Amino acid sequence: MKPAPFAYRAPADLAGALALLGEHGDEARVLAGGQSLGPMLNLRLARPAIVVDVNRIEALAGITSLPGGGAAVGATTRQRSAETSTRLRSGWPALVTAIGQIGHRTIRNRGTVGGSVAHADPAAELPAVLTALGATIIADGPAGRREVPAADFFVGPFTTALLPGELLVAIGLPAPAPGTAQVWVEFSRRPGDFALVGAAVVVARDADGTCRDAALVYAGVGWTPWRAREAEQVLGDRPLTAALAAEAAAAAADACTPSTDIHATAAHRTLLVETLTRRALLRILEAGE
């Protein structure tokens, strides 16, 4: 199919993009990598009056360091650039692993980090891993620039906390706390498919191996990234062992309430939550031994 007619603008700077979004409101759609928007336009699932192409805005691309050891990833940074970034790999390996499992390399060559976040697909890797890492979503708009915790940014399937006229401009990554280990694991039927379930597991441990903090966040389990707080409590203030990993995995499976669809049953997804959680925790345990 062909898309419905729409106007096309490619502003050269952020001010120009924000002006267009403010003028056209809900009738505008932002084009970054186009890996989701393109098919939606062709299938006429999206019928915007205007498409605002932000690829010419240099300020939206690239990875920069933040005070205190954090980093900011520009919204139009290509997924492949983030995947191969030594800066991100050294500080946020779970993020790099997750990005490397988005589609195929051809898709990641064009797809953008910000585009995937703003699309807010509940089965996508980035919403879950960014929530687990305590990232912030940086938006700019009519009221100025603001930061939204990733945990509050994804409010429903394909729905975010962006306000009318706002544009996602960057993702802020906090410096990992000392003793922190991160793992992303997922299961899909074929390489490149959306994961049936993905798990971001971030655990901070003291020198004696005691878990002092943990974040376990999943894709494909709910309409937004789902956090297994019951499993996090199981890990709290206890030394990480294989037995504890199994106990936390069982707690996550008991607490989750996934749905059944054409891809997997709720029971299958529940089993994957348990299996992936245990696998991730065992990787952290083995890496620290």
Give the residue-averaged pLDDT of 70-83. Answer: 98
Number of domains in the chain: 3
231 & 213 share domain = yes
156 & 185 share domain = no
45 & 78 share domain = no
Average pLDDT, the chain: 95
Residue 220 domain flag: yes
Give the residue-averaged pLDDT of 168-183. Answer: 96
CA 122 to chain centre: 9
145 & 250 share domain = no
106 & 123 share domain = yes
pLDDT for residue 289 = 53
Domain that holds residue 237: 180-288
Give the residue-averaged pLDDT of 138-166. Answer: 96
Boundary (domain end) residue, out of 112, 142, 173: 173
Give the residue-averaged pLDDT of 217-239. Answer: 96
66 & 135 share domain = yes
Do residues 50 and 20 lie in contact, with contact meaning Cβ atoms separated by under 8 Å? yes
159 & 141 share domain = yes
Boundary (domain end) residue, out of 173, 206, 237: 173
194 & 154 share domain = no
pLDDT for residue 287 = 87
Which residues have a Cβ under 8 Å from the Cβ of 66 and sit 6 or more positions away? 72, 172, 173
pLDDT for residue 111 = 96
Share of the chain above pLDDT 90, in %: 94
pLDDT digits 0-9 by tens, 160-172: 999 999 999 999 9
Q: What is the CATH number for 46?
A: 3.30.43.10
pLDDT for residue 203 = 97
Residue 155 domain flag: yes
Q: What is the CATH number for 71?
A: 3.30.465.10
150 & 184 share domain = no
Residue 247 domain flag: yes
Which burial class, exposed, middle or buried, applies to 289 when counting CB atoms under 10 A from its CB (0-12, 13-18, 19+)? exposed
Residue 119 domain flag: yes
pLDDT for residue 28 = 95
Residue 1 domain flag: no
pLDDT for residue 192 = 84
pLDDT for residue 191 = 86
Q: In what order do the strands lie in the sheet with 136-140?
A: 63-65, 71-74, 167-173, 136-140, 146-149
Q: What is the CATH number for 265?
A: 3.30.390.50
Residue 2 domain flag: no
Nearest of 209, 289, 222, 285 to residue 249 by alpha carbon: 285
274 & 205 share domain = yes
Classify 42 as helix, strand or coil.
Answer: helix
pLDDT at 207 over 70: yes
220 & 276 share domain = yes
pLDDT at 117 over 60: yes
Boundary (domain end) residue, out of 173, 208, 232: 173
**37-41, 183-187, 280-284: which has the minimum mean pLDDT?**
37-41
135 & 86 share domain = yes
